[in-house]
Amino acid sequence: MNIEDIKTVMIVGAGTMGQQIGAQSALFNYEVVLYDIDQTLLDKALERIKILFGYLVKTGQTTTESVKAALDRISTTSDMGQGAKKADIISESVPEDPQLKGSVFARLNELCPAHTIFTTNTSTLLPSQFAQACGRPKKLVALHFHDVRVTRIVDVMGHAGSSAESVELVTRFAERIGQIPIVLKKENPGYVFNTMLSNLFNTAQTLAANGITDPTEIDRAWMGVTRMNMGPFGLMDSVGIDTVCKVTAYWAEKNDDDQMRKNIQYLKKYVEKGDLGQKTGRGFYTYPKPAYSLPDFLEPGRDSKVEP
C-alpha cells in the first residue's frame, strides 16, 4: 500500500488522545471513524472535538471553514466491525494494558481488510509486548502523539518484527497530517520526549508524596528556573492524572519500586475524587484559569498550597 491509498482512519478509543488524533486527521482531509464501546462516550467525544476545533481556530491554527469540513468527515460507531471494514489505518488509544491492547488488535485483525496498517498511541508500552497477539506484527507500528494543541512532534517506533515498508508508510502518514515524525531506530519505553518526561513526573511525585513540598512549589521551582510556562504537575493535569496513575502503576510493578507505589497512593487521592486534570476542570489546579497561568504565580508571598 502507498500513502495515496490511505483514505480512512479508524480511531480506536475516543478519549482525549483519540479525539485529538481524529480531529487532526480530519483537518487534513482524511475520513475518520471514531470508535468506542458506548455511544454516550462517542457523543461526549464529538463535543470535546468541537471544543478542540474552537481552540485551534481561536489560536489561528486553522479556520472556521476548515473545521466545518473536518467535522463532516468524522463519523462515530460503537460497532467495531462497522468501523473496521473500510479502515486503511488504525490509531489505537485504549488504556495502557498490553493484554487489552493485544486483544483489541486481535479482534481488529479479524475485521479489517488485509492491507490495514495498525498503529498504537501507547505512551509507555512497547509494540513488541502485543505484536504477536495483534495478528499482523509486520504491520504494527507505534505512532505516538503529544498534545496537538501545542506541538506537532510525534514518535514513530517499530518493533523487531515491523516491516520497513510499514514504518515508512506510517512516517509519511504522520507528515500528511501536519506532524513532525521522530523516527526511533529501535524500541524504547517512553520514546524520546516521554522518557525524559516520565523521569520528571516521578521525581515531582516523589517530592510531593514524601512531603518535601507542595505541587505548586515544585512547579514554581521548575518554571522559575527553566522559564517554561508549565511545571510537572501542570503537565500531569494536561495528560490526565488517571493516565499518569496507570502508567506509574505499571512501572511500579514492573520495576518492583516501593517509592513509585507510594507515589500512586498520592495520585489516587485525586483520581478517587474524580479530579483528573484539565478534562474534568480540576486536578492539581482548577481550570480554565489554573494558578500557574496567572501573572503572579512566580511572585513571592503567594499561597502555594494545593489541597488533595
pLDDT tens for 78-90 read: 999 999 999 999 9
Confidence of residue 305 (pLDDT cuts 50, 70, 90): low
CB within 8 Å of 212: residues ≥ 6 apart: none
Q: What is the pLDDT of residue 307?
A: 45
Q: What is the pLDDT of residue 120?
A: 98
Superfamily of domain 3-183: NAD(P)-binding Rossmann-like Domain (3.40.50.720)
CATH class of 196-292: mainly alpha
Please state whether the predicted TM-score (pTM) of the whole model is above 0.75. Answer: yes
Q: What are 68's three cell numbers?
A: 466545518
Residue whose grid cell is 518554571? 223
The rounded distance, in Å, linking the Cα atoms of 204 and 215 is: 8
The rounded distance, in Å, linking the Cα atoms of 104 and 111 is: 11
| Tens-place pLDDT, residues 269-292 | 999 999 999 999 999 999 999 999
Indicate if the pLDDT at residue 208 is higher than 60. yes
Q: What is the pLDDT of residue 308?
A: 44
Half-sphere exposure (Cβ direction) of 158: Cα atoms closer than 13 Å: 19
Section 183-188 average pLDDT: 96
Q: Nearest to residue 216, comparing CAs of 271, 290, 282? A: 290
Domain ranges in the chain? 3-183, 196-292
Averaged confidence pLDDT in the chain: 95
Confidence of residue 37 (pLDDT cuts 50, 70, 90): very high
Indicate if the pLDDT at residue 300 is higher than 90. no
| Tens-place pLDDT, residues 149-179 | 989 999 999 999 999 999 999 999 999 999 9
| Tens-place pLDDT, residues 60-116 | 999 999 999 999 999 999 999 999 999 999 999 999 899 999 999 999 999 999 999
| Tens-place pLDDT, residues 230-281 | 999 999 999 899 989 988 998 899 889 999 999 999 999 999 999 999 999 9
Indicate if the pLDDT at residue 124 is higher than 90. no
